[in-house]
Structure 1
């Protein structure tokens, strides 16, 4: 009987076990390169948000009063930041659905990759894209007169809460993209996103709405983030009384956690359930 000795070449990696973090970064790089080659979706999405900002800020803003007083532009900008995080849901869902429909996700599944790496890569790439969009929108706000009036710690916390909401909505988008890949899936998500975005305190205070509608708007996760960031930026909140006026930062912290705890496991189950 002979014994075979296996030697490894210098520099050869011996541990080939899946590493979700490393593989997620590699897949995120692939998604970023796709945007570099075809940037129009990202550009048009950002242009649409800027258009909404200009339309509501200058076309309708003169007719809207902020409860408690304050400039409407200062009230609107943090709401637009939160709305941008919500609108990113559609791009996440569409990208995941396209990859699954074209068989790219199945190719990833055939490789010795961690089951979490594909979703993690999408999450990293989309979060980076949203951070870029948020930075551009904040710069645009500064150019039209918006100013945060608090210190650096509060401003950083406001940005963290905005990206925290986007992180939570990523898992909802990934779940929807893996679960619904038909021709009408994107339309269905738009039908979902627009009422959630507008039935909130993004554009007007809940105190200007009928009682029951204002209550619904106050319990919207987007409203929580919008109100919390207004408070942290030192801008008018439009909330002079009620639970949200006193606990906006808490609500903006808890809502994304709840969404993540619900949809992250659902997204993982949807990925495992894809046909090979």
Structure 2
């Protein structure tokens, strides 16, 4: 079965129709990766697959992160009975990309809807390639050599604005990292690197740094660059983590929302 692709917005988000056997065989993997590169987010509806099949499909697209969860499946839930790191996952409610502190940020991630909350819980994605491409040329030059310090500590202030001393010390155990504001990829394309882990811009005053990071985040998350996914149980969604940011919309901790995630390992250095 040849895949069918339906682009859902001008810049980001595509639905792909394909049968399970073709996905498992990897016969469409190259085409899917090409759509991911261009569109940032793809999803499949009504596949009716299990965890083993999810991981098998992921393996056709790249190398999975073996340490992610159990047998390649990590359970995303704000219920501490399901996920002991539920407090940390609250940071996913704010714009971010995964792996900003790693030498090679995750290439992509695959999410499958197991159970949904009655309210909230949609996921939004923005295309950071398109956002950079559309910046005025003068602004591209202005930020082309700037670098920002990213830290786990910074992202937690979104969740707990008045962290205790012990909480601050805990999050400061994770080393910070200097990243370019503009990521020049192996392909030659460029994307913006901002989001919740971006703490400050090197060489700028505190005020100028905060203003610039907020301005670039607001630019990248304009409605025209954003795709909001309205989940249905069984949806399988994949996003290109190196060219997007994402966030979940708020939902009740006891709402039952459960996602199964598989991560595809990073393929290019961020330095």
The TM-score normalised by the length of structure 2 is 0.26
- Name whichever structure is richer in strand by fraction: 2
Larger RCO (CA within 8 A; separation ≥ 6)? 2
Structure 1 or 2, whichever has the larger Rg, is: 1
The TM-score normalised by the length of structure 1 is 0.25
- Name whichever structure is richer in helix by fraction: 1
